[in-house]
Amino acid sequence: MPMPPPYNRRTGHWHRWLMGAGVALILAAFALLGLSFSGMVGDDDTSFPVPTVGLSLSDASTSTGFTLAPEGERLRELLGARPTPEPAPDAPPPSPVIPPARLVIPKIGVEAPVVTVGVDGEGVMESPAGPFEVGWYDFSAQPGSGGNAVFSGHVDYRNVGPAVFWDLRELVSGDLVEVLLADGTAYQYVVTSSVSYDAGDAPITEIVGPTAKDTVTLITCAGIFNGQVRQYSHRLVVRAERL
């Protein structure tokens, strides 16, 4: 059967098959470049992933945090990784660390389990293994203890699409974040800032280091996804302070 002409003189419209072919060519071009529509950066470097399911390319190997190695010594000082002094003979035993169990963000429908993560042998902050769990960094403060509790989660996930922190970019000052510990204790925080940083040029010590107030820091990916190195160009950092 002969193909219809690309332009219909009777209706004055291009045939739908030609439009479909154009879309297919655009998608193929993005696949060859190793890019995902889920991370387009605007002129101000503060744009965030665009909702697109099926082109999500990040996975467990994608870093949701930062590389700490270049300033490792400084970070160890800031995070208090020093030898623990001997307690006084009559001092009470230190309180056990009770890890967070769930993270709840009502505005964006997040009610996710929390897993404990740390830093790998190359000085990179570990990432949660799955798309719908949030990682709490064991080098950061325990929620409710008065310091900076740092969490991260994936923005999207290969063969899944949008992940736990897909809508994190929608949070604004005043939005609620709740952390539930393993013993059932709950702490509530209110969002105070949301900033996108270039992953290679971010003020890491300010982001993951100690804070004067009881704080929660939430980190996820943003910007352009590079398929060759399987990493996003930016990190979105949302900070909230305890009510």
Helix (H, G, I), strand (E, B) or coil at 29: helix
- Give me the mean pLDDT over the 54-66 stretch: 63
pLDDT at 60: 67
Average pLDDT over residues 16-25: 50
**What's the average model confidence in pLDDT over 134-154?**
94
- Residues sharing a CB contact under 8 Å with residue 125, sequence separation 6 or more, in sequence order: 63, 64, 65, 66, 67, 68, 117, 118, 119, 137, 152, 208
For the segment 158-188, what is each residue's pLDDT rounded down to a tens digit? Answer: 888 899 999 999 999 999 999 999 999 999 9
**What proportion of the chain, given as a percentage, has pLDDT over 90?**
46
Q: Are strands 161-162 and 134-137 parallel, antiparallel or unpaired?
A: unpaired
Report the pLDDT value the prediction gives residue 125, as an integer from 0 to 100. 87
pLDDT at position 122 is: 78
Fold for domain 14-79+97-242? Sortase; Chain: A; (2.40.260)
Give the domain ranges of the chain. Answer: 14-79+97-242
Q: Is the pLDDT of residue 136 over 70?
A: yes
